[in-house]
Amino acid sequence: MRFDLTSGLRIITLVLTTIGYWKIFGKCGIKKYWALVPLAREYHIALCADREEDGRKYMYISVISFVFGTIVTYANLQDPVLVLMALIMAVSFAIANLIYTTRIYTGLTETFGRSKKWVVLMVLFEAVTICYWGVSKKFIPVRKIESLDVSGQAKTLGTDVDNIKDGLTVNINERSVIDLFKKKILLKDIHMRIPKGHMVLLLGGSGAGKTTYLNAVTGYEKADASITLGDNDIYKDYDKMMYDIGFVPQQDLMRGNDTVALTLSDAATLRLPTSVSFAEKNERISQVLEQFGLTAVKNSLVEKLSGGQRKRLSIAMEFISDPSLFILDEPDSGLDGVVARGLFEKLRSIADEGKIVVVITHTPDRVIDLFDDVIVLAKDAGRTGRLAYYGPVKEAYEFFGKSSMEEILLSINQKDEGGEGRADEFVEKYADYMRERVG
């Protein structure tokens, strides 16, 4: 009889909780079927509460707790020490789950504009309280749930630009990932043509999608996109095109106990096609040493180089293959103004050779005169990386009504990041501008 009563209570609790989640999800704009999936529904109620990170941690702890509990159940522990350790772990998991459950339900009361006193009832009588909140028409969200709302995203251009034969053409429709139970759009509606011989600044705040954009353009992480360099499709011809694209990361990848010449020799082995002869490889190494002012230190150990020399060597390693598209992530990081200026002048000379040079830097204004164009990425209302501007530097100032790149960046950053929160305004303004040109 006791077994039947316990089972019955469990079934009733499950039904009431499921009904409550089903109704609350409908009110919050979440797919109702998630109420039928264990753990997933707890994560989605956290989305309703605008506590996504807490929901994620709750899920992880619950999974670990379940696995741990299963092991303990079937391990038939006899050792008192092991039994005590298992008990401590079980209590720890229970406390952690209680903490995150409380935080999630606290967020839910804020979403629905209710007193935090309800949290106590939710924790003690979860099934009944959640069901009541879901069924009752008195409980309606009082604020927009930003993490779920995508209707407010800025309008799109929605049209590809024609390929340019003498340059880079980027048509990114979308770059997305599946994050737990939902699709997350990282980039959307980015279209541009960059001619050869141009040096381009890539500007954007944290989370605007700069790295994602570069990975999509280089083919490292493919997007729903068409990326062409001249007549070649980077995605379709990746094996051939990877030698024509150079990418210099912020952190150099060099062994300190190798010489400069050996470092470049190793890079040439990796970056040059196997069809290149030994003599041609050595000639190319000599050319790059001379071009980057490293001939005098070619026999020096990498660890003995100055900061500026290390940066030039790091760039030379990627430039060894003579790429048409050259991308650099904060090449001036850690360098003082004079050294950084000299480095950017070298990049300017590379662009003047007919290359496309794209650079991320956190101090653009001190070298902005060396750039031709600027790409401005911004997060729109849906927290998706969008194109707020691409074009000549001088026209960018007029477009944003600002006098520096730093001011432009502040104008598109979200207000909670210390910015003006005008990203959507400029995304739409640029889309209208491009629509007129494409149309």
The whole-number pLDDT of residue 1 equals 45
The whole-number pLDDT of residue 153 equals 59
Q: Residue 297 gets which letter from DSSP? A: G
- Strand-pairing partners, residue 36, are none
**Torsion, Cα of 280, 282, 287, 291 (10° steps):** 140
Residue-wise burial string across 26-36, b where 16 or more C-beta atoms lie within 10 A, e elsewhere: ebbebeeebbe
User: What is the rounded distance in angstroms from the CA atom of residue 1 to the CA atom of residue 213?
Assistant: 63
Confidence class of residue 117 from pLDDT cuts 50, 70 and 90? very high
User: What is the rounded distance in angstroms from the CA atom of residue 21 to the CA atom of residue 27?
Assistant: 10
Q: Residue 162 gets which letter from DSSP? A: P
User: What is the rounded distance in angstroms from the CA atom of residue 236 to the CA atom of residue 253?
Assistant: 28
Q: What are the domain boundaries of the chain?
A: 2-135, 167-438
The whole-number pLDDT of residue 150 equals 46
Q: Which of 39, 319, 27, 356 has the alpha carbon at shortest distance from 197?
A: 356
Return the CA Rg of the chain: 28
CATH topology of domain 167-438: Rossmann fold (3.40.50)
Q: Which of 203, 179, 156, 238 has the alpha carbon at shortest distance from 52?
A: 179
Phi, psi of 434 (to 5 degrees): -70, -35
Q: Which residue has the tokens 């309703």?
A: 48
By mean pLDDT, which of 16-20, 58-62, 152-156, 420-424 is the weakest? 152-156
Q: Which of 323, 393, 321 has the alpha carbon at shortest distance from 354?
A: 323
Q: What is the pLDDT of residues 260-290, one digit of tens each?
A: 999 999 989 988 888 889 999 999 999 999 9
Residue-wise burial string across 191-221, b where 16 or more C-beta atoms lie within 10 A, e elsewhere: bbbbebebbbbbbbbebbbbbbbbbbbbbee
**Torsion, Cα of 40, 44, 49, 51 (10° steps):** 60
Check if the beta carbon of residue 180 is closer than 8 Å to that of residue 43.
yes
The secondary element (H helix, E strand) that includes residue 349 is helix 337-352
By mean pLDDT, which of 360-364, 402-406, 433-437 is the weakest? 433-437
pLDDT surpasses 50 at 330: yes
**Torsion, Cα of 136, 142, 148, 151 (10° steps):** 110
Q: What is the mean pLDDT of the chain?
A: 88
The whole-number pLDDT of residue 73 equals 73
pLDDT surpasses 80 at 33: yes
**pTM exceeds 0.85 for this model:** no
Q: What is the pLDDT of residues 214-262, one digit of tens each?
A: 999 999 889 999 999 998 999 998 888 878 899 988 777 788 889 999 9
By mean pLDDT, which of 10-24, 105-119, 184-198, 239-253 is the weakest? 239-253
User: What is the rounded distance in angstroms from the CA atom of residue 177 to the CA atom of residue 3?
Assistant: 45
By mean pLDDT, which of 299-303, 325-329, 417-421 is the weakest? 417-421
User: What is the rounded distance in angstroms from the CA atom of residue 390 to the CA atom of residue 352?
Assistant: 20
Check if the beta carbon of residue 61 is closer than 8 Å to that of residue 40.
no
The whole-number pLDDT of residue 79 equals 76
pLDDT surpasses 80 at 154: no
The whole-number pLDDT of residue 151 equals 44
The whole-number pLDDT of residue 391 equals 95
Please give the distance of CA 434 from its chain centroid, rounded to a whole number.
25
Confidence class of residue 8 from pLDDT cuts 50, 70 and 90? confident
User: What is the rounded distance in angstroms from the CA atom of residue 376 to the CA atom of residue 388?
Assistant: 5
**Torsion, Cα of 402, 409, 388, 323 (10° steps):** 110
Q: Which of 323, 312, 302 has the alpha carbon at shortest distance from 346?
A: 312
Whole-Å CA distances, 279 to 76, 265, 275, 283: 70, 12, 12, 6
- Mean pLDDT across the stretch 165-194? 88
